[in-house]
Structure 1
Amino acid sequence: MHDKFSESRLWDSFKSGDKDAFKAIYYKYYMLLYKYGVKTSADEDLAEDCLQDLFLKLWKNRENLGEVASLKSYLYRAYIRMLFEAIKKSRRVINLAELNHPLEESSIEESMIQNQDQQESSQHLHQALKHLTKRQRQVMLLHYFEGLSYKQIAEILPIKYQAIRNCVHEGIKVLRKNIASRSG
């Protein structure tokens, strides 16, 4: 894993036109960003197209890019912008709640019941997520689905640390309230 110094050197090499540095950045962050894009858009093709566009744009504009404090945060921010712009343009619905839990070995009936329960839970969560603000959905996705800390989210989104904590706290309250009212 690269430390800040080697990431900085990698970024500088990339900006100078070093194709190996570009490949290193691409291979290190591609799958991480792709998984985030698929969870956000629920559209593998859109997520991949935006990611390809991002790396193409980075390569074409490499000489004009500035310094970055955190390469991961920089790439997330750039990708989020591209992804949400593409979603807006295509007017696609963001599906944040497709949770896939592996089934244990069981009978066909148990599997069907478990699958139905999962679908109902997923539908409840999806409906509850619709009650969150756009910002709350973004923060919740980054924190719970991507496992990012509040500090990392603050580096990616233009939101202060305390506002992120508040978003998560309020988001959880909204989700609990809406899920409880649907399942009760």
Structure 2
Amino acid sequence: MMNPHRHEKIEKNWQLLAGGDRQGLYECFDLFYDDLFRLGVSLYRDVDLVQGCINELFLELWKIRERLTGVQNIQQYVITIFKRILYKSSNGRKEVQFNEAAHPELTQSSYEEMLIEIQTDEGVKARLQLALKQLSGRQLQLVQLRYFEGRGFKEIAEVTGLTERTVYNTLHNALQVLRKEMN
């Protein structure tokens, strides 16, 4: 179930978008981007394709903004259009191959897949919150940067002042703790 505050923000900005307000468009982009990105990558595993399709989606919404006022289920509407754009852009392929070396952050272990699924499973979300409390402050910080903000190892090292190897090792240990706690 969607957060009521988020739902209100979506409704408000959707109406602004439908009325031709560019700020409403930008806010809708911000509200939907993360979910659309995760959905797109889970379907096609191609970051460039997904990002391009998200941009194309919002360009399309801007073009048809006058027709958006009657939309009842905004989130489903956006997802449906996004999936169509993805499918057309991928030439109908079910999955596009991607270069793991170029995008190592998208190589998903079962734990990372679980992080994506927590948005729909409240039970897993509650268990994950308890498991996260078992981490040290540094581990929690690195998990937040890596898996919730989507930053790469190099960027995390720069932000925290740690070496990339230390970031990798600390995250590895944190994931072991989380896997143990989640089972």
TM-score between the two structures when normalised by the length of structure 2: 0.48
